[in-house]
Each structure stands twice: as C-alpha cells, then as structure tokens.
C-alpha cells in the first residue's frame, strides 16, 4: 500500500531532467521557439488565456519564451501561464490542466506524440536541435546505397528534414522520400472548441474572435488555422506522420527507413509499427549511425509473451493513460465490450502517470491494457508485476483464431476500424466452447477459464454474493458466473 500512503515527498525530491546546453540568447529564443509565428497565430485567433506547455528538458527556457511572447503580444490583452508538470506523458497535450485554468489554447513545446486534442486548440512548436547535415549525409549514404529511402525524424529535426532528402538525392540516392507532419506550423482546433462552451469573447468587427465555429472562414487556404472534420475524417489535419511513395505501386516494405534522432519512444513506435526492409538511425548528438533491427526482435519477443499472459488472464484492468487524445473514450468502450463478450471481468482505472507501485495495489488484476497515446502504449512489462498490453494486443489475446503476426496498431482510429469491421473471429461467445480449457503457452498446462458477465442474463449485476448459477444449455447443466473478482481473490 506504499503507493496509496505516499506523502508526496518523492515528487518533491524527484530530480528534474534538465539540459546540458547553455542558455539561449534572445535571438536564438525567437528562432528556435518560433516566437513571431506563434504570436501571429495567437493574435489572429484572439486568444486571451494561453497555456505554454513545456517538458522537463525545456523548462530552462520557459521563462524566456514566456517573456518573449508577452513582449510580442504587447498590443493585445492576454494572459500567459506555464504548464510544467503534466498529468500523463509530456508528449501529450495536457488538456485537463489547461481547462482547469480556462485556457483558450495550448502552445505545446518540444517532443510530441502528435496526438490530436479533443477539446482545446493546440499549436505545436517542435524546436530546432542542431544537426551536422554534411556528416549525416556522408555517413548515411554508405548504409543506404542502392536502396529506396524513407526519411523519418524526431520532431525537433523537422525543420531540416526536406534538406536531408534533397542532399541524399544529390549524393546518389535516387529515391529519397521525406515524411511530413500535418500539424507542423499549423493551428489545430478540435470539433468542440473549449471556447464554444464558454461563449465567444472575441472583439473583431463581426463580433467573433475568429477562433470559434462562428467564424466561417476559419479554414484558411494557407492552413494556419485548420479544424478537424467528421468523426471518420480528420479534415485538413491528420494525426501523426504521413508519406507518399514515389510510385503508387510501392509500399513501406520496399523502403529503408532512415530515422534522424536519438533513442526515444518515437523511434520505438516506428520500429514496432512500420514493416520496412530495415531501419537505420542517425543520432545528431553523438554523430552515430546504427541499424535498429536486433532491438525490434527482442522487443517483439517480450510483447508476444505479454500477449500470452493476457490470454490466460480472467480479470482485466483497463488503464486510461490519456485524457486528451481523440477517440480514447470510444477505445475504452470497445475494450469493455470485448472483455464482456469473452466472459471476463474488467476494472477501469485512471492513475495518471503509470508506475509499478500504483498498479501493484490491485493484486486481483491479472493483466492490464493501457489506453494511451501511440508513444506511451508500448510499455516494457518487465518493470511491472502484471503484463501491460495495448488495446490491439488485448483484442488478439481475446480471440481464439486471430494469430499473432507481430504487427502493431497503436493509432486509435486504426484500432477502431479493425474492431468495428466485425467481431474478431473466434472471440469467446459460445457458452459450451467457453467451458473448454485452453492450452497455456505460459504455464505449459491446460487452463480452465473463469466466467464473468453472463450475456444471457440481462439483470445480472456484479458484486452480489460473488457468483450466480444459471442454466448453461438445454441439458440443464449448471454453470457458475462469478460477479466479484476482488471478493474471489480475497
């Protein structure tokens, strides 16, 4: 119970991960943090309450950035405040904290998972980490010679990605394609703007601030102010990265990925989700090129083991690891539906930043499924007492016929498309089949499933006497459906 009884001293004593670089000058602040461009977006939108979100490694510049923006926006009345500690991962926009202060917009700085928000508008400023382009091209052209190359990158190197592609082509790489980020330099506004709930406080001639739905011309041609479309169509802006092959007949498997950036969650997510011929990374800080394939194989082995343990689990914990990414509520509801149909028990948790101590307080849970942004979904379960899997992995674990292929779906929209296309083949629904034990690859023995949430009994409620007896079939055989996993555990 240490995690529940903690007095908060660990948070106070936590060491802040800072940067070893010197403090930037005023001119460097304006360039790296795009002060003029950001001020233009804020001014044109008429935003009054502005949240500036920084990760730990950029806090060293936060006050300078805030002062520079305040100076640039001296001609309008607005309030800027800094969000330094996020509810979940710093790569996600902290909509919860922003709404506590009635923020009209969040300016997100630094690394990001590129998840789109659901309520608060956001403007991403990636920053500009230095890169030696000559060294990058000279070292990378040797390992990708004769190959089609797809250039991907951490967001801090987005500003030079097109130059890298051009230099690679000049160096003899015939087919060098550069991925793009839709939100780069563009304001993203979700369908439900937080200001629409509070009413427009704009001051332009039409009586509108220009940032809410009252402004019919908000989707400008230059894309500086774009809005999401329908539920299945993101409109002018889509989440994550995108790329277009030089030939429509080509696919990701025909390319070698060249990733610009150091070891990070972004690289891990790319390695897990992209089935390219090979992946090479160039670390601009250490000027090193290396192939990343062996690491993927070890990672997939651990993930396969976690899926098998989740398959054996009868009590599932659904952990909400984000309150900002679009569609997270639909993903949670879909998981609850699948667990019920498999006659398993689930508990729903919102724990903030994931930690072993928090999850260890719930001993009756046999496997956790984490609903989080793409970069925080792939948790290394060896740090936890129970396996922690992704929603897609849980869908595979609940299916009898769906085979593990090593493919990953971390994007919520892709997961829902697969889940909504039809019930996964082999999902435990038949009463008689659910009584047949299955062979566990973890224990090497047959495992008899426990049964919860009988779908044929509409009025069955969890938490009664700990179990209910119902007729299983026309042979008048009796099956027991458990109601409370916690009571049974005790």
For 415-472, how does the pLDDT look when each residue is reduced to its tens digit (9 = 90+)?
888 887 755 444 544 444 556 666 666 666 666 666 665 544 444 444 444 444 444 4
Q: Identify which of 162, 366, 122 has the alpha carbon closest to the alpha carbon of residue 260.
A: 162
pLDDT at residue 7 tops 70: no
Q: Integer distance in angstroms from the first to the last C-alpha of the chain?
A: 16
Q: What is the pLDDT at residue 91? A: 86
User: 14: burial class by Cβ within 10 Å (0-12, 13-18, 19+)?
Assistant: exposed
Tell me the Ramachandran region of residue 193: left when phi exceeds 0, alpha when psi lies from -120 to 50, beta otherwise. beta
Q: What are phi and psi of 59, to 5 degrees?
A: -60, -25
What's 316's DSSP letter? E
User: Across 212-308, where does the E strand assignment appear?
Assistant: 225-227, 241-242, 256-260, 278-283, 288-291
Kindly report, residue by residue over 386-413, the tens digit of the pLDDT.
899 999 989 988 887 666 666 778 888 8
pLDDT for position 119: 85
pLDDT at 63: 93
Q: How far is CA 97 from CA 35, 59, 88, 92, 101, in A?
A: 23, 17, 10, 12, 7
pLDDT at residue 249, as a whole number: 83
How many residues in total does the chain contain? Answer: 490
Q: Are the beta carbons of 42 and 48 closer than 8 angstroms? A: no
Buried-state track 290-317, b at ≥16 Cβ within 10 A, e below 16: eebeeebeebeeebeebbbbbbbbbbbb
**What is the pLDDT at residue 466?**
43
CA nearest to 103, candidates 86, 88, 122, 76 = 122
pLDDT confidence of residue 333: 93
Whether residue 315 is predicted with pLDDT greater than 50 in this model: the reply is yes
Q: Which letter does DSSP use for residue 71 in this model?
A: H
- If one compares 23 and 230, the residue with the highest pLDDT of the two is 23
- pLDDT score recorded for residue 468: 46
User: Is 483 a residue whose pLDDT tops 50?
Assistant: yes
pLDDT higher than threshold 80 for residue 122? yes
Kindly report which listed range (8-12, 323-327, 459-463) carries the lowest average pLDDT score: 459-463
Q: Is the pLDDT of residue 222 over 70?
A: no
In this prediction, residue 439 carries a pLDDT of 62
């Amino acid at each position: 119970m240490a995690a529940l009884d903690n007095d908060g001293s660990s948070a106070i004593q936590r060491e802040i991960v800072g940067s070893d670089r010197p403090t930037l000058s005023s001119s460097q602040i304006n360039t790296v943090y795009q002060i003029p461009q950001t001020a233009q977006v804020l001014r044109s939108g008429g935003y009054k309450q502005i949240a500036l979100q920084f990760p730990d490694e950029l806090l060293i510049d936060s006050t300078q950035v805030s002062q520079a923006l305040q100076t640039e926006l001296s001609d309008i009345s607005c309030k800027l405040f800094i969000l330094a500690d996020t509810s979940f991962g710093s790569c996600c926009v902290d909509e919860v904290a922003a709404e506590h202060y009635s923020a009209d917009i969040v300016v997100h700085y630094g690394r990001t998972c590129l998840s789109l928000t659901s309520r608060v508008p956001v403007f991403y400023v990636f920053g500009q980490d230095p890169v030696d382009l000559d060294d990058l091209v000279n070292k990378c052209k040797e390992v990708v010679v004769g190959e089609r190359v797809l250039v991907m990158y951490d967001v801090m190197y987005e500003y030079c990605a097109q130059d890298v592609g051009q230099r690679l082509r000049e160096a003899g790489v015939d087919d060098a394609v550069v991925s793009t980020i839709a939100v780069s330099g563009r304001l993203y506004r979700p369908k439900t703007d937080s200001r629409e709930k509070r009413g427009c406080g704009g001051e332009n001639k039409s009586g509108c601030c220009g940032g809410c739905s009252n402004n019919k011309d908000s989707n400008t041609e230059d894309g500086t102010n774009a809005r999401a479309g329908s539920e299945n169509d993101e409109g002018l802006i889509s989440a994550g990265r995108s790329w277009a092959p030089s030939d429509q007949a080509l696919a990701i498997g025909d390319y070698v990925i060249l990733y610009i950036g150091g070891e990070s969650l972004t690289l891990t997510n790319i390695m897990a989700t992209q089935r390219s011929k090979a992946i090479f990374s160039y670390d601009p800080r250490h000027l090193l090129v290396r192939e990343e394939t062996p690491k993927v194989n070890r990672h997939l082995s651990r993930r396969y083991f976690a899926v098998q343990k989740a398959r054996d689990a009868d009590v599932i914990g659904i952990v909400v690891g984000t309150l900002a990414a679009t569609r997270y509520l639909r993903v949670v509801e879909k998981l609850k539906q699948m667990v019920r149909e498999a006659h398993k028990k689930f508990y729903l948790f919102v724990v903030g930043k994931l930690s072993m101590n928090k999850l260890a307080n719930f001993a009756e849970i046999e496997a956790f499924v984490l609903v989080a942004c793409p970069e925080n979904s792939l948790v290394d379960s060896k740090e936890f007492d129970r396996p922690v899997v992704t929603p897609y992995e849980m869908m595979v674990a609940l299916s009898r016929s769906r085979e593990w292929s090593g493919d990953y779906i971390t994007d919520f929209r892709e997961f829902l498309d697969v889940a909504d296309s039809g019930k996964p083949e082999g999902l435990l629904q038949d009463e008689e089949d659910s009584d047949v034990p299955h062979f566990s690859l973890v224990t090497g023995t047959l495992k008899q499933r426990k049964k919860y949430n009988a779908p044929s009994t509409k009025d069955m409620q969890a938490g009664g006497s700990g179990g209910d007896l119902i007729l299983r079939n026309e042979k008048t055989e009796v099956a027991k459906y458990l109601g409370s996993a916690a009571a049974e555990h005790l």
